[in-house]
């Protein structure tokens, strides 16, 4: 009899439906903190409109936290607002603002620590040091958040979406501005970044470090301090992104440093100081991209090898290709160059003479950067014409042997 009495209550308790806990003035739960303490696994906490100043709130059990009409969670410039330490958590529909700032701890609007299957979506984050921070996570999803920081000095600013040590993350359809880096990946693998807009950030729109087998596609990286950087990584797919308006003496549309075995396809590089800067890059395939009205379309350092640049369009760039060495270890083939002046006698759409995209003036500027002030001078025009007739200083083997006569349809 005692055995039967013990088992029946356990059976019914395990199958109780998930509850909804409503938070707000004149509601059963006056504060979010109380609701988090009372909630059971799988419950939903519904937060009604208002301003909540409850310091740092910790979610340490699987549940859903939902805001109605964007209730405000205010850190009062003193606290981290939400800290998630449990797996299978959803945070949706809040305005989170005014985190604190410490030199010893990266305070965030929403921070996820050592958890999996956490969904952060449809939130607004304002004036947060780090907006969304995922550390040691798996299968996290950060979707459709509007993140706006307040521009400060680089050392006093955090990143918009920051991932450190994780896998299988999905970062999609977010808008990020006003942070140090819009999106930051370090030691993150097998993840995807898609359909985001990252603009007007102090440093990079996207920053990759030691992150392998990832891909990013259909993102817009615009008007950032230094563009996008992919460093010390391999097997990265960069597809159908837009890199635009990244201007400055140290600005790039895309910086590739010590990266290998990657693919850059169908991207648009428009009005950047240097569209792509490559240093220590190996086995990169760059194809079907548009390079339009950049200072430099490609700056390929002598440390790069076994890269293939094919079937791209080059329009209106001040320099199509520049390099700091004479040894050519990369392949250029089938690109359209608007500066090409060759002919096509058999009308097969391919130029009958090779095109050498490195001009003499580009070589001079690589060695003496102050020579850039002569960019539009008649003397530069004469130098380049003379070099085309009698090549002497430009890399002899850096050429496109089959240049396209017409812009490629991509």
Q: Averaged in consecutive runs of 10 residues, what is the pLDDT profile of the chain (410 residues)?
A: 41 62 94 97 98 97 98 97 98 97 91 98 97 98 96 83 98 97 98 98 96 98 95 98 91 96 98 96 98 96 95 96 84 96 92 86 60 57 56 70 93
398 assigned to some structural domain:
no
Count up the domains in the chain and report the number. 1
Per-residue pLDDT at 297: 97
Position 8 in a domain: no
Here the tokens at position 211 are 């992150």
Domain containing residue 290: 18-389
Q: Judge whether 298 lies within some domain.
A: yes
Flag whether 230 is in a domain: yes
Which CATH number does the domain housing residue 380 bear? 2.160.20.10
Residue 408 lies in a domain: no
Rg of the Cα trace of the chain? 27
Does residue 12 sit within a domain? no
Asked whether residue 410 is assigned to any structural domain, the reply reads no
Prediction pTM value: 0.89
Handedness of CA 217, 295, 405, 356 (dihedral sign): negative
Q: By the 8 A CB rule, do 354 and 403 touch?
A: yes
Contact status, residue 228 vs residue 252, Cβ threshold 8 Å: yes
Q: Is residue 331, in this structure, part of any structural domain at all?
A: yes
Which residues does residue 263 pair with via DSSP β-bridges, in sequence order?
237, 285
CA 358 – CA 392 distance, rounded (Å) = 12
CA 157 to chain centre: 17
What values do phi and psi take at 184, rounded to 5? -130, 125
């Amino acid at each position: 009899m005692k055995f039967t009495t013990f088992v029946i209550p356990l059976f019914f308790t395990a199958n109780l439906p998930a509850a909804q806990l409503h938070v707000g003035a004149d509601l059963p739960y006056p504060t979010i903190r109380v609701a988090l303490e009372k909630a059971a696994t799988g419950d939903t906490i519904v937060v009604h409109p208002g301003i909540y100043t409850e310091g740092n709130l910790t979610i340490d059990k699987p549940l859903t936290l939902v805001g109605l009409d964007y209730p405000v969670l205010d850190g009062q410039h003193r606290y981290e607002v939400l800290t998630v330490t449990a797996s299978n958590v959803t945070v949706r529909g809040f305005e989170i603002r005014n985190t604190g700032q410490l030199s010893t701890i990266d305070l965030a609007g929403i921070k996820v620590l050592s958890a999996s299957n956490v969904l952060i979506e449809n939130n607004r984050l304002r004036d947060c040091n780090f907006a969304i921070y995922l550390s040691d996570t798996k299968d996290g999803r950060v979707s459709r958040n509007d993140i706006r920081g307040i521009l400060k000095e680089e050392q006093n600013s955090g990143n918009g979406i920051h991932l450190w040590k994780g896998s299988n993350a999905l970062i999609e359809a977010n808008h990020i501005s006003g942070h140090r880096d819009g999106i930051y990946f370090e030691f993150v693998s097998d993840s995807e970044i898609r359909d985001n807009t990252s603009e007007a950030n102090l440093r990079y729109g996207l920053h990759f470090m030691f992150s392998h087998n990832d891909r990013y596609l259909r993102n817009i990286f615009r008007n950032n301090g230094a563009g996008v950087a992919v460093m010390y990584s391999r097997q990265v797919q960069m597809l159908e992104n837009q890199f635009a308006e990244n201007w400055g003496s140290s600005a790039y549309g895309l910086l590739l440093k010590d990266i290998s075995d990657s693919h850059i396809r169908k991207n648009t590089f428009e009005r950047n100081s240097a569209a792509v800067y490559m240093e220590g890059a190996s086995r990169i395939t760059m194809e079907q991209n548009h390079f339009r009205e950049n200072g430099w379309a490609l700056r390929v350092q002598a440390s790069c090898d076994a890269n293939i640049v094919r079937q791209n369009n080059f329009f209106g760039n001040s320099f199509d290709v520049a390099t700091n060495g004479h040894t050519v270890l990369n392949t250029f083939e089938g690109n359209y160059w608007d500066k090409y002046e060759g002919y096509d006698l058999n009308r097969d759409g391919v130029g009958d003479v090779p095109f050498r995209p490195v001009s003499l003036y580009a070589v001079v500027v690589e060695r003496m950067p102050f020579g850039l002030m002569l960019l539009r001078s008649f003397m530069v025009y004469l130098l380049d014409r003379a070099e085309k007739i009698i090549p002497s200083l430009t890399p002899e083997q850096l050429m496109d042997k089959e240049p396209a006569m017409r812009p490629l349809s991509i």
